[in-house]
Structure 1
Amino acid sequence: MPVTAGLLLAAGAGRRYGRPKALVELDGVPLVRRGITLLSDGGCRPVHVVLGAGADQMPDLPGAVLVRHDRWFDGLGSSLLKGLASLPAAAPAAVVVLVDQPLLSPIAVRRVRAAYADGAVIAVATYAGRRGHPILLTRRTWPLLNGYAVGDRGARDLLRDRPDLVVEVPCDDVGSPVDVDTPADLPRI
């Protein structure tokens, strides 16, 4: 299977949570470390992590390239663009995940990578027929995101507008896209 980069978006302030979600721990492990492990175990090399709010409080994160994003407050879209721009020129594709989805599986990462190996330009995991993460974006799609990745919008509208580029990859049996938005969400996970 071809090597793909991993991109973990972990720059937000976590306003509804009350602190940056990257720093939140689940079973004693910060969500940011869980995201790095998810991508690494899924076969992504290198793994880049976009940090913003709380960047100075992050634990040691071996196995990842840390990308500081000083304009993190511009939203998810700017973090996505910053992260993609940070990847080495040799990276043909990137698997993108969000820090606040700790139940994603390395198997889902491997499945979207396998879809890429089979020719997908964009591969997106689905759960009960709904698109979620991980999402694999080939380098040729990155320039297209300039018109889409704005504010808190990432690649979703590009996927909607360009169905000809998208391969959906069922992942219902290997994890969940449930996200952690508030402290009340963590116990149910």
Structure 2
Amino acid sequence: MTRVALVLAAGSATRFGSDKLSATLNGEPLLFHAIRAARAAPVSRVIVVARPGLEIGDWQGSPSVDVVRIASEALSQSLQAGIAAAAGAEGAYVFLGDMPHIPHHIASHLARAIGDGFAAMPCEGGHPGHPVLLSARAYPAIAGLTGDQGAGRLLRQRSDVVFVDCTDPAIHADVDVPADLAQLRGNQPG
């Protein structure tokens, strides 16, 4: 089965106050951690949906890292641009560029669990997190999203979404404001 990973990185980070995806964590840009997690998924390629000017880095090896540039900050349009670039993939993982600590094993668990489901997502403490694995059946519904709306509401309305139990709260840890990044830095081992 051919799957891709999408890393959504087109937002402006207004709550952060500066370019959060370029802010460093463990000596490298926050975005690079998300790309690394996406590359660890069982995928044929990674597609980073980014705003113009965002530094993506040079990623050698497999899977390849491709970039789709969009001027819109709307989450729905980022997701739609990624799905369009996935052309023909039977599934797409959705990673967020501001979530640097996604455990690398989660994507494989989702792949095993999705079966004929519409989507699969990890769930910790009763709350769904990321990444989300969308089946190709989800693509037409994603095309109908508008504004700064991701797939969350759509997925909550469906009974054919598979939830995978996870004990790692990192599936919820995103960076919205500088204090979030400071907390992640403080929780680093060593």
Give the structure-2-normalised TM-score.
Answer: 0.87
Q: Distance in 2 between matches of 1:39 and 1:174?
A: 18
Task: Give the structure 2 partner of residue 12 of structure 1.
Answer: 11
Query: Which one of 126, 129, 137 corresponds to residue 129 of structure 1?
Result: 126
Q: Distance in 1 between matches of 2:56 and 2:119?
A: 32
Gaps of 5+ in 1: none
Residue identity in the other structure for 2:125: A
Query: Which one of 95, 107, 110 corresponds to residue 108 of structure 2?
Result: 110
Give the alignment of 1:35-184 within 5 angstroms: 35-52=34-51, 55-62=52-59, 63-70=64-71, 72-73=72-73, 75-89=74-88, 91-116=89-114, 118-147=115-144, 149-163=145-159, 165-173=160-168, 175-184=170-179
Cα distance, 1:114–1:174 mapped onto 2, change above 3 Å: farther
* C-alpha displacement of 1:67: 0.4
* C-alpha displacement of 1:187: 1.6
Q: Distance in 1 between matches of 2:118 and 2:69?
A: 28
> Are the counterparts in 2 of residues 76 and 153 from structure 1 also a CA contact under 8 Å?
yes
Give the structure-1-normalised TM-score.
Answer: 0.88
Q: Distance in 2 between matches of 1:133 and 1:49?
A: 16
* C-alpha displacement of 1:6: 0.3
Q: CA RMSD in A?
A: 1.6
> Are the counterparts in 1 of residues 79 and 150 from structure 2 also a CA contact under 8 Å?
yes
* C-alpha displacement of 1:161: 1.6
Aligned residues: 180
> Are the counterparts in 2 of residues 101 and 180 from structure 1 also a CA contact under 8 Å?
yes
Identity %: 33
* C-alpha displacement of 1:27: 0.7
CA shift digits 1:129-185 (9 cap, x unpaired): 1111110101111101233x221211111112212x200011224734111111111
Q: Distance in 1 between matches of 2:130 and 2:29?
A: 19
Q: Distance in 2 between matches of 1:64 and 1:121?
A: 25
More helix by share: 1
